């Protein structure tokens, strides 16, 4: 059974306007998204800015109000009931944020940052809490003396580890990682990615990995969903997406990945321009009248593409 199943998720934000500030329109940030994640897997949610990938992640964890649809986590429908409901389920879902510099409160010590979820959900004595925090620090590879320091005393990679320690404090099952490495330098990025894979094995974690960087997504994800304007354009196993992209938008994204071999420069440029040309010429066929992708249709067991009705 899937750990997380998202069914026809919609998140619409009202646009207010007019003299009386009434709702005049809706921004359909997420407009009918379906996906499911099996336990222990890493699911990549890819898209450019404004595609709705972050909103989807935030809706799953309850940070954005869900307009309609279901979010089933181990059979509990998180979309029903308010923020306060399903408290015991919610602690099984945690989030890692993009910016390790602004997601940690600069005025709190690391010990308090990491212990915060523990204090919210578990009643521990001071001593028990201390032991747990130290365990967590060891788990993320930071020294236990570090717990009395403040976030600014750490490097970017270390801060992201603190963020991870906070996220895994309650032994969650699902972690939503929103661009966890895009603010980091290449070498630090490698550290954090390795580490995320390690603790995944160790703790049996499932990741919803939100990113715009296809290189990283390819490296770390089992399944990938590509979002465009709040909808899916393609979904499949990592290999399906990268070796056999079907939608013009996916092709364009894949062709935009930089290649480390300067000898392939020319061919890449040609490929990229072809992808752009296809995208411009075929968008009438691949998108509906409003310029939005069509519903997904399976083309193989694991691979779904948003193709028009006619096929």
Partner 1 sequence: MKIKNLTTSFRVLDDYYAAVDNVTLTVNKNEVLAIVGESGSGKSALAFSIMGLHNRAKIEGTLDFKGQNIAKYSQGKLNKLRGKEMAMIFQDSLSALNPLMIVGAQIDEALLLHNSSMSKKDRKVRVIDFLSKVGIPRPEKTYEQYPHELSGGMRQRVVIAMAIANQPELLIADEPTTALDVTIQAQILDLIKDLKDDMRAGIILITHDLGVVAEMADRVAVMYAGQIVEIADVYSLFSSPQHPYTRSLLNSLPNSAETKTKLHVIQGVVPPLHKMPREGCRFRHRIPWIDESSHEENPELHEIKPGHFVRCTCYKDFYFPDKHKEASGNGAT
Partner 2 sequence: MWKLIVRRILIMIPQIFVLSLLVFIMAKAMPGDALTGLIDPNIDPAAIEAMRERLGLNNPWYVQYWDWVTRAMQGDLGQSFHFKMPVTELIGQRLVNTFWLSLATLIFTYMIAIPLGITSGRYNDTFLDRAITGYTYVGFAAPLFITALLMLFVFGFQLGWFPTGGSVSPGSAAGTWDYILSKAYHLILPAFSMAVITTVSTVQYLRSEIIDTKQKEFIITARAKGASESRVYNRHILRNSLLPIAAFFGYEITGLIGGTIFIENIFNYPGMGQLFLQSITRRDFSVMTACVLLFGIAAIIGALISDIILSLVDPRIRIK
Chain residues binding partner 2 by CB under 8 A are: 17-21
19 binds, among partner 2, partner 1, none (CB under 5 to 8 A by kind): partner 2
User: Alpha-carbon distance 307 to 311, whole Å?
Assistant: 6
Quick one: tokens of 58? 């935030």
Tell me how far, at minimum, the Cβ of 21 lies from partner 2, in Å.
7
Q: Looking at beta carbons only, is 1 or 20 nearer to partner 2?
A: 20
18 binds, among partner 1, partner 2, none (CB under 5 to 8 A by kind): partner 2
Give contact residues for partner 1 (rule: CB under 8 A): 48-49, 140-143, 155, 157-158, 161, 185-191, 193-195, 197-198, 212-216, 218-220, 238, 242, 252-253, 255-263, 265, 268-269, 272-273, 276
220 binds, among partner 1, partner 2, none (CB under 5 to 8 A by kind): partner 1
231 binds, among partner 2, partner 1, none (CB under 5 to 8 A by kind): none
> Rounded to a whole number, what is the distance in angstroms from the first to the last CA of the chain?
31
Q: Looking at beta carbons only, is 125 or 187 nearer to partner 1?
A: 187
Exposed/middle/buried for 94, CB within 10 Å: 0-12, 13-18, 19+? Answer: buried
Q: Looking at beta carbons only, is 21 or 263 nearer to partner 2?
A: 21
User: Alpha-carbon distance 142 to 138, whole Å?
Assistant: 6
- Inter-CA distances, 35 with 138, 213, 238, 247, Å: 34, 20, 14, 18
User: Alpha-carbon distance 89 to 78, whole Å?
Assistant: 9
Largest interatomic CA distance in the chain: 65
Helix (H, G, I), strand (E, B) or coil at 278: helix
Q: Looking at beta carbons only, is 261 or 289 nearer to partner 1?
A: 261
Q: Looking at beta carbons only, is 101 or 148 nearer to partner 2?
A: 101
Considering only CA atoms, give the Rg of the chain: 21
89 binds, among partner 2, partner 1, none (CB under 5 to 8 A by kind): none
Tell me how far, at minimum, the Cβ of 178 lies from partner 1, in Å.
16
């Amino acid at each position: 059974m899937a750990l997380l199943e998202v069914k026809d998720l919609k998140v619409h934000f009202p646009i207010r306007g007019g003299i009386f500030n009434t709702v005049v329109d809706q921004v359909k940030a997420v407009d009918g998204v379906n996906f499911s994640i099996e336990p222990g897997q890493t699911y990549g949610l890819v898209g450019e800015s404004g595609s709705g990938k972050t909103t989807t992640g935030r809706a799953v964890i309850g940070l954005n109000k869900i307009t309609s649809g279901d979010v089933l986590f181990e059979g509990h429908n998180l979309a029903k009931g308010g923020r306060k409901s399903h408290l015991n389920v919610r602690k099984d879902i945690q989030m890692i944020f993009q910016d390790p510099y602004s997601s940690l409160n600069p005025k709190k010590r690391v010990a308090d940052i990491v212990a915060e979820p523990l204090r919210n959900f578990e009643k521990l004595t001071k001593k028990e809490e201390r032991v747990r925090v130290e365990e967590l620090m060891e788990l993320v590879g930071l020294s236990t003396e570090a717990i009395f320091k403040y976030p600014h005393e750490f490097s970017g990679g270390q801060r992201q580890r603190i963020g991870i320690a906070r996220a895994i404090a309650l032994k969650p099952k699902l972690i939503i990682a929103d661009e966890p490495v895009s603010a980091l330098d290449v070498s630090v990025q490698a550290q954090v990615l390795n580490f995320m894979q390690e603790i995944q094995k160790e703790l049996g974690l499932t990741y919803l990995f939100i990113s715009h960087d296809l290189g990283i997504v390819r490296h770390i994800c089992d399944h990938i969903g590509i979002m465009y304007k709040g909808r899916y354009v393609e979904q499949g196993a990592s290999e399906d997406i990268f070796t056999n992209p079907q939608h013009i938008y996916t092709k364009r994204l894949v062709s935009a990945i930089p290649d480390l071999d300067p000898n392939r420069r020319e061919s890449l440029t040609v490929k990229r321009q072809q992808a752009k040309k296809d995208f411009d010429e075929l968008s009438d066929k691949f998108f509906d009248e409003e310029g939005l992708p069509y519903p997904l249709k399976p083309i193989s067991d694991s691979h779904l593409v948003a193709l028009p009705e006619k096929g």
